[in-house]
Structure 1
Amino acid sequence: MNQTLSQLEHNGAFIERHIGPSPEQQAAMLDAVGASSLEALIGSVVPADIQLPGPPAVGEAVTEQQALAELKAIASQNLRYKSWIGMGYSAVITPPVILRNMLENPGWYTAYTPYQPEVSQGRLEALLNFQQVTIDLTGMDVASASLLDEATAAAEAMAMAKRISKLKTANKFFIAQDIHPQTLDVVRTRAETFGFELIIDHADNVLDHADLFGVLLQQVGTTGEAHDYSKLITELKARKVIVSVAADFMSLVMLEAPGRQGADIVFGSAQRFGVPMGYGGPHAAFFASRDEHKRSMPGRIIGVSRDAAGNTALRMAMQTREQHIRREKANSNICTSQVLLANIAGLYAVFHGPGGLKRIASRIHRFTNILAAGLQNGGLQLRHKHWFDTLTVEVADKAGVLSRAISFGVNLRSDIHNAVGITLDETTCREDVSALFAILLGDAHGQDIDKLDSEVAADSQSIPAGLQRQSDLLTHPVFNRHHSETEMMRYMHSLEKKDLALNQAMIPLGSCTMKLNAAAEMIPITWPEFAELHPFCPAEQAAGYLQMIGQLSQWLVQLTGYDALCMQPNSGAQGEYAGLLAIRRYHESRSEGHRHLCLIPSSAHGTNPASAQMAGMDVVVVACDKQGNIDLGDLREKAAQAGDRLSCIMVTYPSTHGVYEETIREVCQIVHQYGGQVYLDGANMNAQVGITTPGYIGADVSHLNLHKTFCIPHGGGGPGMGPIGVKAHLAPFVPGHSVVQIDGILTQQGAVSAAPFGSASILPISWMYIRMMGAEGLKQASSVAILNANYIASRLQSAYPVLYTGRDGRVAHECILDIRPLKEQTGISELDIAKRLIDYGFHAPTMSFPVAGTLMVEPTESENKIELDRFIDAMLSIRMEIDRIADGEWPADDNPLVNAPHTQMEVVGEWTHPYSRELAVFPAGSHNKYWPTVKRLDDVFGDRNLFCSCVPMSEYA
């Protein structure tokens, strides 16, 4: 017992749990890279003029138990009122079998976007289920695998309508006036940058307007009116106007599919299928279209293809539409979607099946009819004759009604003139309806629910005859066989086993930062104090949320060197868009709205030019030199050419090439010299935190990928959060919100997300991470991330040349391995190496980004030396396999790399290859073997034979 009490207390800290390498392992790795200490390594890698003089003021580290207790006390300030506010958000019941086996399961939430489909077949199948649910409910031909939220989907629908419209000179977009206000807010923001003219009017007046390229209708309006728009859509189609319809998953169980009424695009929120409100998100939006428009759709689409053996296999289809390929010409800038939440919604449909969904929807509708009848019997007037779950009730004493509701622990919608809104949901029970009668009619209301039930059952016309659903729903076997918990548990486990996530092995993806998502960080997201709040509840009921968001914002301000932070963007790409909007609005405020040129280095992430285009900017590419750095001569020339038209530069630091550019401050100075702003992409913040900051370097605005640097898990392709930090002069121009106004926290600017704080319910993850790591722990994390990357680079550079290095031959937190010389010599490509790594039990590094023919490796700080060595050994072993091909031992068209990955079925079948079965499937031994369920995907077949809905279950045998 030689340790002091403070040392014993420190031993319980979280830092050692998050950072993989022990002090002894760090010493061995430092020796391997030729550095005397971690501090010396950082000093040789990071330019001296940008290193912070001291640690950021985010406090000291605390233990997991201390942080959880502190956050629980904060969460307890949130008031868990029953919110019948509606407006696209409803209370739900998440089936416990899904809660435990998916939302709380690292096998699901730590997986990455399925860019390597061979190790992603489980979540791809779950996403295909989600697409099938969307197709069935909307009556459309093809659906995407989710968008960020309903409001974003509406903005994407408008942009898509313009792309596919044959009325090329038309520039007006009509929006029915009873759309949700937050949706209108986000669409307004997007229309402004695109230069579209919006017309907001009653839907009955749409035919009076000319020069429309598109129309947006909401099937059940924001105040509850259920519309049969079939005739109107037919007339609009005759005029070649593109029709988009906002719809609701639960209502579509009972209402006719908009696709069957002629709509071109149907979208909405899948939140009601088992995803808690969470003060606004994350929630998966659904998006569906007609088949002829599929190549113009935004976001990701899962398609059915086949593997090298001819067996059915799934993949992301039509990637040529996307920002990482088409850049500023892409359909959208969407990078993060809402995969985890889409999978919850899809599995909610699997678990309940068509019969269960009809029972839930019918129960909600019946309670709404009962409430409507009782209120009318009590002398109150309803604003609409047709509804599904929402009533707008005319009230004389509105203030009194709202006050009485609060006394009952109930929130009603309060922003409707001379009326209140009530939206019922699957949690509604008899006691709730009685409470609503008491609130609106008085305690002695005298309404008998059973009597009212008999009346509405005999005669209810609340859904118009033409709007009642006629088409079948969810007939595929997957929705009709997993209704017992036993079957559901086994089905989910069967999907999970097909995937490779962080609970199996490291995922060394460059630019993606697949670090530990600690259990202590994840626990609070399912606390009801955070999960149950409506995003538009009164601010005083969300005091805990606002305190947590305020603390997290202040910590992030310290860690970025900025003056203010906006927490609204709910993906990194949306953060880019929001940051560029702030720059655009800033220039306009200074009567410099003509500044619209955005400089982007050739090495940039694909979202950068796509976001710039969305923000109404023209992209000018800046060259990089042979060392991968921004070419200062080219930058000076193009900045000078832009002159007073220069809006900004978008630069990533450390660079996407994996080095700390020595001239970054000079880059900022050149752009500022010509009146431009510096947008520093926060994708690589994991190499900055505690060491330097964008603000200290000289940038004006950055987005932060909380789903990378700050430990929110990737969720198999989302959720994400992309808040933006800004210097003081840009703070007035960050996104605000039209529904929620909180002085000092939200601006008066237009929104980019449906909810004021984006995906608020996942922010506790980042709060916990920063609180448990403290200033010193965060700096240590960045330093060890750099150490791990340099260790991999130093050990692999003799086998695979490291493409770019900084001074002293060092890299930053990631390194790019150049496979091009090997391909030229042997024909083996980066794709072959990526697929062979699956046989070794690893997810591949990032392929062909930012340079074609390369692999970009980012180990993160969470991987210890044992796992790093296992990866290095695999890469060296693969290199020796390549040598055997080069020596002629194996044919170029029949060897372990070009045939990889190898499946169990392949091994037990006839074997004709010139290498052994053992070498094929156990190249690193049999311990903890990961078995892919499919061989290499046939991408060409998948694109030529596009099929994006569920296939017969026999195909999955």
Structure 2
Amino acid sequence: MTINLSTANEFIARHIGPDQADEHAMLATLGFDSLEALSASVIPESIKGTSVLNLPAGQSEADALASIKAIAGKNQLCKTYIGQGYYNCHTPAPILRNLLENPAWYTAYTPYQPEISQGRLEALLNFQTLISDLSGLPIANASLLDEATAAAEAMTFCKRLSKNKSGRAFFASRHCHPQTLDVLRTRAEPLGIEVVVGDERGLSDLSPFFGALLQYPASNGDVFDYRELVERFHATHALVAVAADLLALTLLTPPGEFGADVAIGSAQRFGVPLGFGGPHAAYFATRDAFKRDMPGRLVGVSVDRHGKPALRLAMQTREQHIRREKATSNICTAQVLLANMASMYAVYHGPQGLTQIARRVHQLTAILAKGLTALGLNVEQIEFFDTLTLHTGSRTAALHAKAHARHINLRVVDDERLGVSLDETCGPSDVTALWALLAAEGQALPDVDTLTATVSSTLPPALLRQSPILSHPVFNRYHSETELMRYLRRLADKDLALDRTMIPLGSCTMKLNAASEMIPVTWAEFGNLHPFAPAEQSQGYQQLTTELEAMLCAATGYDAISLQPNAGSQGEYAGLLAIRAYHQSRGDERRDICLIPSSAHGTNPATANMAGMRVVVTACDARGNVDIEDLRAKAIEHREHLAALMITYPSTHGVFEEGIREICGIIHDNGGQVYIDGANMNAMVGLCAPGKFGGDVSHLNLHKTFCIPHGGGGPGVGPIGVKSHLTPFLPGHASLPRTQGAVCAAPFGSASILPITWMYIRMMGGEGLKRASQMAILNANYIARRLEEHYPVLYSGSNGLVAHECILDLRPLKDSSGISVDDVAKRLIDFGFHAPTMSFPVAGTLMIEPTESESKHELDRFCDAMIRIREEIRAVENGTLDKEDNPLKNAPHTAAEMVGEWTHPYSREQAVYPVESLIEGKYWPPVGRVDNVFGDRNLVCACPSIESYQEA
């Protein structure tokens, strides 16, 4: 027997769920003898042969890990004091192991189904409470993407709500972080907002401004008293946003207490690694009166059908899925996984622990400043928290060079000044090392112990915090590792994530996030690098991003990629900005019409509005395809002003539209550009390429097709691919050669999770990626075929096949039985399943996407559950089950309900063990069906008060 001695690559088979026997069985069900034959029937003739997937064969997991380890080793880890919104911190080991590295947390989906999301919702409620307490404002959201984009959201928020209607400009302090100002300018320009950057201390006439952004403490280190300035802005009916450092707020008067209308910032230094810029959770807090205009998600307290407190996402009518171009924001992803890390950091340390960390950092900074002054250096700050700016004159360049030689990074301020920021990882030896670095040759260094005894706080006495923080029990109980470990386990046990069951969400692509892909994320070489470290220290990241860009170009057929957008919504936005800038470069400023099909994802029209475009909706035909004649008519009608078409492919209805080339041609013939939403790229990789069949730009959801986990609702990464003519208009950054404005704070967005996608593509190779797309299509068509006699499949191609997802029409059941799509979704919980996507893109439907990662066994388990549910609906239709008191209307059923008095006309067994397989592994939802209306009418979005805990 001959044995192949080369390293075997088993990863493709590990990633793809069905084995060969399952594949043949499913193909036989559909009437095909091979995957190639199925693909040939699904992919339209007009786009066959457009795939340009030229990638090498996949590597084994061990070989790929060795390759990326070598890349990581090219990053240099220096002691960094750059600050500027990014700080070294310690991730507590129990949070690292039990949350960040735990698939129960990182594979969970956005908590739109609250009954199976109570654990992550509680963690997010803790985050909101943390932010509300520290900011001094009553309402905080469940996180935004980063501090700079949160500031941009605050600007448009102020624009909507300010009563100074004559104000056309937004004031931004020059003491804000530079990357924040960059993103503000990018966001403001398409909306016609003038951003005025200046020194707030010299402002006289405030009447031109509808709002203002201040930094607290200032980026250069100063702590300014903004109370009088805020009052002056309010006197002109302007709103004031304050970008505030959370750690400093444990010691300083919070923005809400000196009159700020909004507080924004980053929670990064609460236990989240630097990660070369992300992902990190931003926060946004505001006044109660403004809650319905606040961007992002909001967790609220409601009750379930038994009257028990239950959590849910509140006030969903603010979201872009519903309000479309009138939405408060286009943000579809938050930074839930990172917000949960920050919340647990606060839970673990508690109020005393956080305050102690802050005091220690501040005292070390005060000692450093006193020693530097004794050495004759010019420290510009008198009142500061953790950051100093030094006027070093002609010595500046030499000091940076000297620092780099000692593996130390200082902040580059300008040619004559440098900055130093301390953090929780610093100690007395770091202070001494900085003195040694900055002292003149031969100078004797101060003694840390001597200065420690004499140094006092340099915080302004009038701004010292008087109000308590984090008094809720959750922040005062779990301070031992045992308690925190059990708390995290208890929360995870309340939820359904991908580690328990398939999550068949159409459009959201909940697929395997393989362990080998996740391993590099927590390596120090990727996690501990500052985004503004000198370029020579990030050679590993430069290789990783260059190679990943090439991989993604190969998968999409585009000529260039920007990895900066840190969410799909940001990718959409960056794509439309590129189109807008392209038209302007050709003198076509009048082009501002964006055509969007009626079936489009809600972020599309919201994004077009943000990019300064006017939305014109085009119709869809009876089969869910774009109505080409309506599109043609509107393209011709708006020919002189047509900027773009935003279209999802395969369609939002889960079908490969045969007219996609014609559609792209119509837009190009009328002077527009084609933006192809990459949400459904999981059906195309290796089979067809949007950059080759008419697309000018696409965003990619790396948290969908390319295996970055959803993390309970974020992080996401949304890079854009463009054809060569749009390459000059990709997002820029101060640290990049491109001239366009930045769309987020860091040059490569959420850089530390890019190794996940690099690993996935490297291990799958071109052949594996193509097979993944084919298997996603096979799995979806298998489910559609098994369920079509029980539920009508709403849309399919001309051959009766779907793409990678299918839509089941439940609307007839509402008429025949009174059972709604909500009832079916909640009943699936009793079977241990997350529901498919509900009522999108068509109300009263379920959109199912199984992905390639689910085995035939799991697909059959899901189909069996759906068929059994249909049998229960028939029992309602024929009167065997009561029309109102039945397992569907009462779903989901809790364990507490089982041991109480049973008054229902159906049995306990039917309620909770509708199929025999559940006896071995039953998921028990912690709450019954949540009352959405009650939660919105009685909004509570912070942890219940101590009194309510005592009453309970």
Q: Which amino acid aligns with 2:889?
A: V
Alignment of 1:592-611 (within 5 A): 592-611=588-607
How far 1:13 sits from its partner (Å)?
2.4
Structure 1 segment 484-563 matched on structure 2, within 5 A: 484-563=480-559
Q: Equivalent residue of 1:174, what SS?
A: strand
Listed as ranges, the matches of 1:145-224 within 5 Å are 145-224=142-221
2:638 pairs with 1:642? yes
**What is the distance in 2 between the residues matched to 1:736 and 1:252?**
32
Provide the rounded CA distance (Å) in 1 between the counterparts of 2:131 and 2:613.
34
Matched residue SS, 1:123: helix
Indicate yes or no: 2:659 matched with 1:663: yes
Q: Contact 1:174–1:206 (CA<8 Å) still a contact in 2?
A: no
- Show the counterpart of 2:920: 927
**Alignment match, 1:319:** 316
Q: 1:347 to 1:54 in 2, by over 3 A?
A: closer
1:225 equivalent in structure 2? 222
After the TM superposition, which residues 306-345 of structure 1 pair with which residues of structure 2 at under 5 Å, given as runs?
306-345=303-342
CA distance in 2, matches of 1:635, 1:927: 53
- Residue 861 of structure 1 aligns to a residue whose secondary structure is coil
Task: Identify the residue that residue 375 of structure 1 maps to in structure 2.
Answer: 372
| Residues 813-871 of structure 1: CA deviation (Å, up to 9, x unaligned) | 00000000111110101100000000000000000000000000000000000000000
Give deviations 1:556-601, integer Å, cap 9, x for gaps. Answer: 0111100000010000010000000000000000000110000000
Name the structure 2 match of 1:901: 892
Give, in whole Å, the separation in 1 of the partners of 2:165 and 2:236. 13
Cα 1:261–1:53 shift into 2, 3 Å: closer
Question: In structure 1, how many angstroms separate the alpha carbons of the residues matched to 2:351 and 2:203?
Answer: 36
Aligned-partner Cα distance in 2 for 1:114–1:690 = 32
RMSD: 1.1
Is the aligned partner of 1:679 residue 2:675?
A: yes
Partner Cα separation in structure 2 for residue 210 and residue 822 of structure 1: 59
**233, 243, 251: which one pairs with 2:248?**
251
For the Cα contact (< 8 Å) 1:93–1:274, is it kept in 2?
Answer: yes
Distance 1:613 1:698, change over 3 A: same
The alpha carbon displacement at 1:5 in A equals 4.1
Equivalent in the alignment of 2:448: 449
Whether the 8 Å CA contact 2:52–2:557 is kept in 1: the answer is: no
Q: Is the alpha carbon distance of 1:826 and 1:83 closer, same or farther for their aligned partners in structure 2, counting shifts above 3 Å?
A: same
Q: Give unpaired runs (5+ residues) of structure 1.
A: none
1:263-306 per-residue CA deviation (whole Å, 9 max, x = no partner) reads: 00000000000000000000000100000001010000000000
CA distances 1:116-149 after superposition (whole Å, capped 9, x unpaired): 0000000000000000000000000100000000
* Residues 628-639 of structure 1 aligned to structure 2 (within 5 Å): 628-639=624-635
Name 1:612's counterpart in structure 2: 608
Q: Report what 1:399 is aligned to.
A: 397
CA distance in 1, matches of 2:259, 2:55: 55
Which amino acid letter does the alignment assign opposite residue 432 of structure 2? S
* Secondary structure of residue in 1 paired with 2:679: helix
- Quote how far apart the aligned CAs of 1:42 are: 0.6
- State the SS of the aligned residue for 1:655: coil
| Residues 396 and 415, structure 2, Cα contact 8 Å, conserved in 1 | no
Is the Cα–Cα contact under 8 Å of residues 55 and 776 in structure 1 kept in the other structure? no
2:45 to 42, 45, 48: 48
Cα distance in 1 between the residues matched to 2:200 and 2:799: 66
Correspondence for 2:863: 872
- In the other structure, the counterpart of 1:15 is 12
Is structure 2 residue 401 aligned with structure 1 residue 410? no
Q: Which residue of 1 aligns with 2:587?
A: 591
Per-residue deviation at 1:239?
2.0
Q: Which residue of 2 aligns with 1:813?
A: 804
Shift of 1:4: 4.2
Q: CA deviation at 1:375?
A: 0.2
- For 1:876, give the aligned amino acid: I
> Structure 2: 5+ residue runs without aligned partners?
none
For 2:397 and 2:150, locate their aligned partners in 1 and report how far apart those are by CA, in whole Å.
Answer: 35
Deviation at 1:48, TM superposition (A): 2.2
Equivalent-residue separation in structure 2 for 1:715 and 1:206 (angstroms): 44
Deviation at 1:55, TM superposition (A): 5.7
1:734-768 deviation per Cα after TM superposition (whole angstroms, max 9, x unaligned): 11012x13x4xxx1110000000000000000000
Cα deviation digits, residues 496-536 of structure 1 (max 9, x gap): 00000000000000000000000000000000000000000
TM-score by length of 2: 0.98
Amino acid at match of 1:785: A
Amino acid of the residue matched to residue 297 of structure 2?
R
**Counterpart check, 1:792 vs 2:783:** yes
1:53 offset after TM fit, Å?
A: 6.1
Paired AA for residue 269 in structure 1? S
Name the counterpart of 1:916: 907
The answer on whether the counterparts of 1:690 and 1:778 sit within 8 Å (CA) in structure 2 is yes
| Matches of 1:656 and 1:168, distance apart in 2 | 39
Moved more, 247-256 or 152-161: 247-256
Q: Report Cα offsets for 1:616-645 as digits up to 9, x if no partner.
A: 000000000001110011001000011110
2:469 equivalent in structure 1: 473
Residues 1:945 and 2:938 are matched in the alignment: yes
- Aligned residue for 2:95, secondary structure, equals helix
Q: 1:80 aligns with which of 77, 81, 100?
A: 77
- The separation in 1 between residues aligned to 2:445 and 2:683, in whole angstroms, is 66
Render the CA deviation track for 1:395-446: whole Å, top value 9, x for unaligned: 1311121111112110001133411100000000111111100110146432
* Post-superposition CA distance 1:650-701 (Å, at most 9, x none): 0000000000000000000000001100000000000000000111111000
> Does the residue aligned with 2:518 lie in a helix, a strand or coil?
helix
From the superposition, tell whether residues 316 and 153 of structure 1 become closer, same or farther in structure 2 (CA, over 3 Å): same
The letter of the residue matching 2:503 is: I
The count of residues paired between Structure 1 and Structure 2 equals 946
The structural deviation recorded for 1:369 is: 0.2
Confirm or deny that 1:695 pairs with 2:695.
no
- Bigger shift: residues 48-57 or 305-314: 48-57
Deviations 1:292-331 (A, max 9, x none): 0010100000000000110000000000011000000000
Partner Cα distance (1:144, 1:190) in 2? 21
Compute the TM-score of the two structures, normalised by the length of structure 1: 0.98
Counterpart Cα distance in 2 of 1:425 and 1:284: 18
Cα contact 1:45–1:807 (8 A) shared by 2: no
Deviation at 1:209, TM superposition (A): 3.5
Give SS of 1:342's match.
helix
Q: Deviations over 1:483-505 (max 9, x none)?
A: 00000001111100000000000
Distance 1:280 1:132 in 2: 25
1:357 corresponds to: 354
- Matched residue SS, 2:692: helix
Residues 866-920 of structure 1 show CA distances to partners (whole Å, capped at 9, x for unaligned) of: 0000000000000000011111011111000000000000000000111111110
Secondary structure of the 1:817 match is: strand
- Distance in 1 between the 2:220 and 2:844 partners? 54
Q: Is the 8 A contact 1:44 1:807 kept in 2?
A: no
Q: Distance in 2 between matches of 1:55 and 1:563?
A: 12
Aligned residue type for 1:773: M
1:206 Cα deviation after fit: 3.0
Shift of 1:54: 6.3
Distance between the aligned counterparts of 2:79 and 2:486, measured in 1?
34
Partner of 1:24: 21
Q: Distance in 1 between matches of 2:501 and 2:707?
A: 17
- Residues 687-696 or 235-244, more deviating: 235-244
Contact 1:279 1:761 in 2 (8 A): yes
Pairwise CA distance, 1:68: 0.2
How far does residue 952 in structure 1 lie from its aligned partner after superposition?
A: 4.4
Question: Aligned partners of 1:58, 1:445: CA distance in 2, in Å?
Answer: 59
Distance 2:347 2:708 in 1: 27
1:266 aligns with 2:266: no
Counterpart of 1:808 in 2: which secondary structure? coil
